[in-house]
Amino acid sequence: MSANPPSALKLFDLSGKVAVVTGGSRGLGRVVATGYAQAGADVVVASRKLDACEAVADGIRKLGCRALPVAYHAGHWEDAERLTDAAYAEFGHVDILVCNAGSAPAYPSITEISEELFDKTIAINLKGAFRLAALVGTRMREAGSGSIIFVSSVGSWSPTPRDLIYGAAKAGLNALTHGLATTLGPQVRVNAVLPGPFRTDITKSWDMEAFERAAVDAYALGRVGEPGEILGACLYLASDASSYTTSVLLNVDGGPRSEVDPSVLAKGAK
């Protein structure tokens, strides 16, 4: 960057950039995809259900940006190549990749985790993100710049008994963040956002009244996060505001002070 830095607004301006957001049809991914468009980016919205992607894409077009909906299953190795080819065919370049697609299937006990469930969880949360980042990141490096953002989880540090495999897969994303930052640098920056508890589809299976009571003491901010509160971190890491930031794991988690009793994460808990 030059000796005279740009204005604060220009630092966060994504005009002229293209972002690919997986898991972009709902939850945190939808917030990020729409927020990037509000900052001026054209967006590839990728998720398993094409109609849901099209709905988000329609909203992005109303903001004056281009959008491409793509049906994409993060657990399918070949889908990464198809998504990459579609994005480059439509826009000619990709500047921002957000690997947000994830899944945390429930299981009754650790001995009852099937091989199929184990493999599916690793595939969706880790394998697919690696393959997509490898393909898009290599093209970014050849083009001379780019930003990759993995959406990991604070569960990667300390998974609860109900999300052991999910936490392990997200820990793999943390390792990829450091490894790919070195592999793809200096042209491509690679960082991760580690959300804590957010009010998304996943919390529909929680006893939210019990969780919110527990959160008062368990978190410095005393509450669950709202989906829009992830956008600031993702916008920072995507934009020129983070031009000297790479290989970082950024917690966005309300400041946990203690563990929440896992029993409150199941409906019907007392």
Question: pLDDT tens across 192-226, in order?
Answer: 999 988 887 766 667 778 888 888 888 888 888 88
Active site residues: 153, 166, 170
Q: Which domains does the chain have, with CATH numbers?
A: 9-251 (3.40.50.720)
89 pLDDT higher than 90: yes
Using the CB atoms, write b or e for 46-79: b if 16+ within 10 Å.
Answer: bbbebebbbebbebbeeeebebbbbbbbbbeeeb
Decide which of 231 and 201 is more confident.
Answer: 231
Per-residue pLDDT at 267: 44
221, 255 contact by CB (below 8 A): yes
pLDDT tens per residue, range 164-184: 999 999 999 999 999 999 999
Burial 143-161 (b: 16+ CB within 10 A, else e): eeebbbbbbbbbbbbebee
Q: Quick check: 56 pLDDT over 60?
A: yes
Share of the chain above pLDDT 70, in %: 92
3 band by pLDDT with thresholds 50, 70 and 90: low
**pLDDT in the model for residue 270:** 27
Per-residue pLDDT at 173:
98
Tally of CA atoms within 13 A in the half-sphere of 22 that contains its CB: 33
Token pair 């019907």: residue = 268
pLDDT for position 264: 55
Integer Cα distance of 227 and 99 in angstroms: 16
Q: From CA 69, how far away is CA 60, in angstroms rounded? A: 11
- The average pLDDT across 139-143 equals 98
pLDDT above 60: residue 1: no
- pLDDT band, very low/low/confident/very high, at 31 (cuts 50, 70, 90): very high
Eight-state DSSP code of residue 198: B
What span, in angstroms and rounded, lies between the C-alpha atoms of 128 and 133?
Answer: 8
pLDDT at 109 over 80: yes
Give the model's pLDDT for residue 25. Answer: 96
Return the pLDDT at 260.
66
